[in-house]
Amino acid sequence: MSVYSQSGIKTRYLFPHSFNSHAAEFKLDNHTAYYSNLRIARLGELRADAGQYNPMAGSYGILKNVSLTSNGKVIDSLREAHRYLAFTNLMNDNVHQACVLDREAKTNLGLVIDSSNSVVRAATGPSNVTTTNATAVDERNKFLGYLPLHRCFPVLANIAALDTDMFPNLTVRIEFETNPLFAYVSTTTTASQGQVEPVLICDEIRDPALRMQLQKSFQPVVWSSIEHDLVQIDSKITEANALGDTDSVKQEVNQKMLGFNDKYVSRIVFAKAEADLARNAVAGKAIGFGPYASYAGFNEVFNVRLNGSNLLPGRGIQNRNAALMLLSDTYGSFGMCPMDNQLSVGSESQAANNTRQAGLRDETSAASATAQDRQSEKVGQLSYYGMSLEDKVQDLQISFERTILKSTVDDKKQLSCGIALHAFAEVRKSLTMENGQMMVSYL
């Protein structure tokens, strides 16, 4: 039965207790109980020009870090929230991407087949809110996103209600991303930008008997929180430029990750982002998925060494389709355009100047037939490694190998660029109440 069919429930719309261009903080009323289905509305920014959101992150691209606290103690949090949410936007089937996320998160991931049997985007990505229509409520709301907070705080999916007698001074804090490259496809304007003041939507429980029942029935909560760690892999662009046309060199990296030590980890995903953010754009325009891209490399080999033993047999993952299969087996549906996890399509014809085409491989909006033949800039941008550990980590080490080729063409330098290897892991936590005090601990 839906909670909205009950009496004694009131939907509240809370504006931030404090708000500026760097953060928004919401404080929920004390001595009040709320259902755990907290959500944020009106996510977006004001711009002087109409640019489009990043197609993978949508309006979530303005979120850097988010946290849920009680009396200053962290209940759940998510760092690099825009990166993780962009990845989880992909972990849906095409219908959900086109019919839900493209409207809810303002992404542009849904794919359709048009009358000429070409794969095209379901719709043009929504523009950011502009100052020219900022006073028009209907126009503004078209371009602002909506975020169910259980996507950032998995604890909310495992708890029925939040009673602020048990969780006093309950606070939701959002830290905004200040680099516009994470939010926009184009950053060509230098005009001032600013976040629209978001709204926290929550359902207050106003039935005293129900509230008392929920308090008495509270049980310890166990959930998987999302935690982040990062490994830097050195750039080999200088070495690649010095190679002969038929030469190559292998780069081998064995690196420990310390962020998950003494924690029980379920699933983990690795994204191979450009270490140099400036290389995610040309003339202020994001290349494909921009900073959210996870680049495919040449002859990559990847393995994880967990507590002294290799997690994967042999040398590990040596094939991009094997990596995609393991990722899908671990996380479920992975909605992407064909070949976006591959280095190239066919002979990789990119026209004389070696530039790629924005959009899809077979879009017909290019200026000429030659341009239409170019490969999409999104090819090779969705190459992830995802797997289950299901163990308590005492020692975690990644083993990564790639082959570096000569790459004087800038468009191909992702083959030798520095890599920021972002890892997002599901870490087991528990929440208990001891003598009226909240205790959050690792399992």
pLDDT in tens, 241-259: 888 888 889 999 999 999 9
Does residue 303 share a domain with residue 176?
no
Give the per-residue pLDDT at 136.
Answer: 59
Percentage of the chain lying above the pLDDT 70 cut: 81
Does residue 192 share a domain with residue 305?
no
Q: Is the dihedral of CA 33, 36, 37, 40 positive or negative?
A: positive
Which of 167, 187, 219 is the C-terminal boundary of a domain? Answer: 219
Does residue 82 share a domain with residue 41?
yes
Which of 219, 243, 273 is the C-terminal boundary of a domain? Answer: 219
The Cα–Cα gap between 35 and 9 comes to: 9
Does residue 202 share a domain with residue 83?
yes
Does residue 104 share a domain with residue 181?
yes
The Cα–Cα gap between 308 and 56 comes to: 36
Q: Is the dihedral of CA 82, 86, 88, 94 positive or negative?
A: positive
Does residue 78 share a domain with residue 40?
yes
Whether residue 139 is contained in a domain is answered as yes
Domain count across the chain: 2
Whether residue 235 is contained in a domain is answered as yes
Does residue 163 share a domain with residue 289?
no
Whether residue 29 is contained in a domain is answered as yes
Give the per-residue pLDDT at 24.
Answer: 96
Does residue 293 share a domain with residue 214?
no
Phi, then psi, of 373 in degrees rounded to 5: -80, -10
Does residue 252 share a domain with residue 201?
no
The Cα–Cα gap between 217 and 166 comes to: 13
Residue with tokens 């509230």: 211
Which DSSP string corresponds to 120-177?
EESSPPPBPEEGGGTT-HHHHHHT-EEEEGGGT-GGGGG-SEEETTTSTTEEEEEEE-
**Which class for 90: exposed (0-12), middle (13-18), buried (19 or more C-beta within 10 A)?**
buried
pLDDT tier, 357 (very low <50, low <70, confident <90, very high otherwise): low
Whether residue 356 is contained in a domain is answered as no
Q: 167 lies in which domain range?
A: 8-219
Section 78-94 average pLDDT: 95
Whether residue 155 is contained in a domain is answered as yes
The Cα–Cα gap between 432 and 388 comes to: 26
CATH of the domain at 178: 2.70.9.10
Residue with tokens 């009680």: 70
Does residue 138 share a domain with residue 41?
yes
Does residue 124 share a domain with residue 21?
yes
Whether residue 353 is contained in a domain is answered as no
Whether residue 351 is contained in a domain is answered as no
Q: How much is the pTM?
A: 0.91
The Cα–Cα gap between 398 and 271 comes to: 13
The Cα–Cα gap between 47 and 49 comes to: 5
pLDDT in tens, 401-416: 999 988 766 556 678 8
Which of 184, 219, 254 is the C-terminal boundary of a domain? Answer: 219
Does residue 240 share a domain with residue 202?
no
Q: Alpha carbon of 90 to those of 28, 57, 289, 328: distances in Å? A: 32, 9, 12, 11
Whether residue 438 is contained in a domain is answered as no
- Tell me: pLDDT of 109 over 80: yes
